[in-house]
């Protein structure tokens, strides 16, 4: 699995298709959270939302970096499409961790916040929730599920907006409302961890669904 993850990562990095997603993330972070001196949690809600959207984008980029024929060769060499998919999920997760770490520290370095450990922990839980949900949406919009690029872009946008805007749809929107609600971090940490768990389960479910749909198309 290490070799497969390494290859997948090398392929995305060399394709340079990660650049737009990472740049958009950095711009959003600088514009909305830089040199801020208000409360920290709403700032983390913004950076987690950016991780969510860019995580979806990076997941699609990671999987689509391989042409279908090239992927077929990788699948045969790896001994199964499931392993290749799991490697892609790990690489997408690594991208999200990279963005998430920047999202957690950048506001602290440039703004004037008094960081409480509980707030920092809540921010990390929110980034995790966003990462898992973003990857889950990205998997279903990747080429192994949706062959046409136009349809995939529309599906990804629909997925991102649905999770951000539809009231009552867990886990990211509920997570952001907790962060922006003005309650102390220690009080909302427990439900936040609950939403993160929902996101992890969602990611696992969508991985299984992606594999099922992809196998039907093969």
Partner 1 sequence: MRLQGVGKRYGDGAWILSDVDLDLRAGDVVAVAGANGAGKSTLLRVLVGLSRPTVGDVTGRPTAVGYVPDRFPPHDRMSARAYLTHMGRIRGLRGRQARRRADELLDRLALAGGADTALRRLSRGNSQKVALAQALLVQPELLVLDEPWSGLDAEAHGTLGEIITELGRDGSRVVFTDHREAVTAAHAHRTYRIDAGRLTEAVTAAPARVELRPTGDDPVALADLPGVTGTQERDGTVTMLVDAEHCDAVLRAALDGGWSVMAVRRSAGVLR
Residue 137 exposed, middle or buried by CB count within 10 Å (0-12, 13-18, 19+):
buried
Q: How far apart are CA 130 and CA 25, in angstroms?
A: 13
Looking at 31, 37, 69, 114, which residue binds partner 1 (CB under 8 A)? 69
Binding to partner 1 (CB under 8 A): which residues in 6-45?
6-7, 10-11, 14-16
Q: How far apart are CA 128 and CA 48, in angstroms?
A: 8
Looking at 20, 79, 184, 205, which residue binds partner 1 (CB under 8 A)? 79
| Cβ atoms within 10 Å of 81's Cβ, excluding its own | 18
Q: Cβ of residue 4: shortest distance to partner 1, in angstroms?
A: 5
Stretch that binds partner 1, among 1-9, 101-109, 149-157, 158-166 (CB under 8 A): 1-9
Stretch that binds partner 1, among 55-63, 78-86, 139-147, 148-156 (CB under 8 A): 78-86
Stretch that binds partner 1, among 79-87, 139-147, 170-178, 200-208 (CB under 8 A): 79-87
Instruction: For residue 76, state whether it binds partner 1 (rule: CB under 8 A).
Output: yes
CA–CA distance from 18 to each of 63, 152, 159, 171, 211 (Å)? Answer: 11, 17, 20, 25, 23
Binding to partner 1 (CB under 8 A): which residues in 49-68?
67
Chain center to CA of 124:
13
Looking at 19, 20, 34, 77, which residue binds partner 1 (CB under 8 A)? 77
Q: Cβ of residue 7: shortest distance to partner 1, in angstroms?
A: 4
Instruction: For residue 215, state whether it binds partner 1 (rule: CB under 8 A).
Output: yes
Q: What is the CA radius of gyration of the chain?
A: 17
First-to-last CA distance in the chain? 22
At a CB cut-off of 8 Å and minimum separation 6, what does 68 contact? Answer: 143
Quick one: tokens of 164?
A: 């951000």
Looking at 20, 23, 30, 70, which residue binds partner 1 (CB under 8 A)? 70
* Contact predicate 167/158, CB 8 Å: no
Of the pair 77, 149, the CB lying nearest partner 1 is at 77
The site for partner 1 (CB under 8 A) is made up of 3-4, 6-7, 10-11, 14-16, 67, 69-70, 72-81, 215, 217-218
């Amino acid at each position: 699995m290490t070799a497969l993850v390494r290859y997948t990562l090398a392929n995305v990095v060399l394709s340079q298709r990660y650049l737009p997603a990472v740049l958009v993330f950095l711009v959003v972070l600088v514009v909305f959270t830089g040199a801020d001196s208000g409360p920290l949690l709403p700032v983390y809600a913004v950076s987690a939302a950016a991780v969510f959207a860019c995580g979806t984008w990076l997941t699609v980029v990671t999987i689509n970096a391989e042409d279908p024929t090239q992927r077929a060769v990788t699948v045969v060499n790896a001994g199964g499409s499931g392993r290749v998919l799991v490697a892609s999920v790990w690489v997408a997760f690594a991208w999200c961790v990279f963005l998430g770490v920047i999202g957690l520290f950048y506001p602290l370095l440039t703004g004037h916040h008094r960081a409480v450990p509980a707030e920092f922990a809540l921010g990390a839980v929110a980034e995790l929730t966003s990462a898992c949900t973003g990857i889950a949406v990205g998997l279903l919009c990747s080429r192994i599920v949706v062959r046409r690029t136009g349809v995939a872009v529309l599906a990804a946008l629909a997925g991102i907006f649905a999770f951000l805007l539809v009231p009552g749809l867990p886990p990211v929107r509920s997570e952001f409302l907790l962060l922006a609600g003005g309650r102390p971090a220690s009080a909302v940490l427990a439900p936040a961890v609950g939403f993160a768990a929902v996101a992890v389960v969602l990611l696992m479910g969508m991985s299984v669904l992606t594999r099922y749909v992809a196998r039907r198309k093969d």
